[in-house]
Structure 1
Amino acid sequence: MHGPVVPGWLLVALCAATGSYCLLRLRSGSEQARRAAGGEAVMGFGMAAMAVPAAFAPPGPWMTGMTAGYAAVFGGAALRALWLARGGAHHLHHVVGSLAMVYMALAMAPGGGDPAHEGHTGHAGHAAGGVPLLTGALLLYFAGYVLSTGTRLLPSAGGTGSHGAARPVPWGARPELALACRLSMGIAMLAMLVTV
C-alpha cells in the first residue's frame, strides 16, 4: 500500500482482527451467516495483507506474482459471492468489495493504471495509480456503505424491554459485532482506496 507507515500498520491490525472475528462467526449461526462470515474473513485477511506498508515490503520482481495472486483470490471470491447472491443481497456487497480489491491490486502494482508504462514494472519512482472515475465511484459506494452500516449500529429509541430475560449470545453470533466488523472493513476499504 502506498501511504504512511504507522497508519498502514494500524490498518493491517484492524483488518487482521476483523478477519479473525469473522473466523469465529464461522462456528455459529445459519448456513447463510456462515457463508457471509467466510467471505468477510477472506476479505479481512486479504485487506490486511494488501495494507502492509510499502516501506516494509518494497516493490520488486515478486510484486507481479503478488498482484496476480490477489487478482486470482479476489476474482474467485467475487465469482463465489455472485453465485451466493442468489440467496441474499449482502453477497452483492461482497461482489463489489472483491472486485474493488482486484482493482486496487492491479492499480497499486508497479505500472498499474498507466498504459504508457505497461510492461515496464521496474521503473524507480513510478507511482502506481488507478482510473480516477472508477476510484471515485468506489469511494462513493463505500462511503455510503459505511454510513448505512454505522446507522444500523446506533441504539434504537424503542428497545426490546426484556433485558433481564435474554439469554447470553455467544461471541460468534452477536449481530452488533458482525455489523462493527463490516463497518471496520468499509472504513479500511475507504482508507485503501484513497491511496490508489
Structure 2
Amino acid sequence: MHGPVVPGWLLVALCAATGSYCLLRMRSGSPTARSAAGGEAVMGFGMAAMAVPAAFLAPPPWILGAYAVVFGGAALRALWLARGAAHHLHHAVGSLAMVYMALAMVPAAGDAAHTGHTGHTAGGVPALTGALLLYFAAYVLSTGVRLLPVAAGGAPSGAVSWGARPELALACRLSMGIAMLAMLIAV
C-alpha cells in the first residue's frame, strides 16, 4: 500500500488482529457462523498483507495479480454462499473491492520509467472508488449503531466463550470496514 508508513503498520496490526480473532470464532457457533468467520479471517489476513507499506517492503510485480486471484475466488465463494445467508453478499462486495484495489495498484505500462518517483500510483476509477467508499461508510455506520448499548433486560445470562461473543464479531466487522475505508482512500 502506498502512503505513510506508521498508519500502514497500524492498519496491518488491526487487520491481522481481526483475522486472528475470526480464526478463534471458527471454533464455536453454527456451521453458518463458522463459515462467515472463515471468510472474515481470509479478508482480515488479506487486508493485512495488502496494507504492508510499500516503503518498507516493495511487493514483487506478481503479487498484485495473486491478490486479485485470491480475492476473486473469495468473491465467487461468497456469492455462492449468499444463496443461504445474505451476510455473504457483504463478503462478496468486500472481496471484489480488494480485487479492485489490487488491480488499481498495478502500474500502467508507461509508468515503468517512473517507478523511482515516490507517491506515484496507478490509481483507480474515481466513480467506482466513490461508490465503494459510500458503501463501506454506510456499512461502518450501521455496524457501529448495532454496537450501541441497549437496555439491560435482554442481556444473556451465563458465561459465553470468547469465540461466540456477538459484540466482538460486530467489533471485528466494524474494524475491517474502517480498514477498508482507509485502504480505499489510499487508492
Give the structure-1-normalised TM-score: 0.90
User: What residue is the counterpart of 1:108 in the other structure?
Assistant: 105
CA displacement at 1:30 relative to structure 2: 0.3
**Equivalent-residue separation in structure 2 for 1:188 and 1:121 (angstroms):** 29
Number of paired residues? 184
Task: Map 1:16-95 to 2 at 5 A.
Answer: 16-58=16-58, 62-63=60-61, 65-95=62-92
Q: Which amino acid in 2 is paired with 1:110?
A: P
Establish whether residue 180 from structure 1 lines up as the match of residue 171 from structure 2: yes
**Equivalent-residue separation in structure 2 for 1:93 and 1:43 (angstroms):** 11
Q: Which runs of 4+ in 1 moved over 6 A?
A: none
How large is the RMSD of aligned CA atoms in angstroms?
A: 1.4
Unpaired runs of at least 5, structure 2: none
**Equivalent-residue separation in structure 2 for 1:106 and 1:193 (angstroms):** 12
Correspondent of 2:162 among 153, 158, 171: 171
| % identical equivalent positions | 78
- Distance 1:123-1:152 versus aligned 2 partners, 3 A rule: same
Give the structure-2-normalised TM-score: 0.94
Q: Deviations over 1:104-128 (max 9, x none)?
A: 00101222xxxxx36x546323422
Greater helix share, 1 or 2? 2
Q: Secondary structure at the match of 2:83?
A: coil
- Distance 1:127-1:23 versus aligned 2 partners, 3 A rule: same
Q: Which amino acid in 1 is paired with 2:160?
A: V
**Equivalent-residue separation in structure 1 for 2:129 and 2:154 (angstroms):** 45
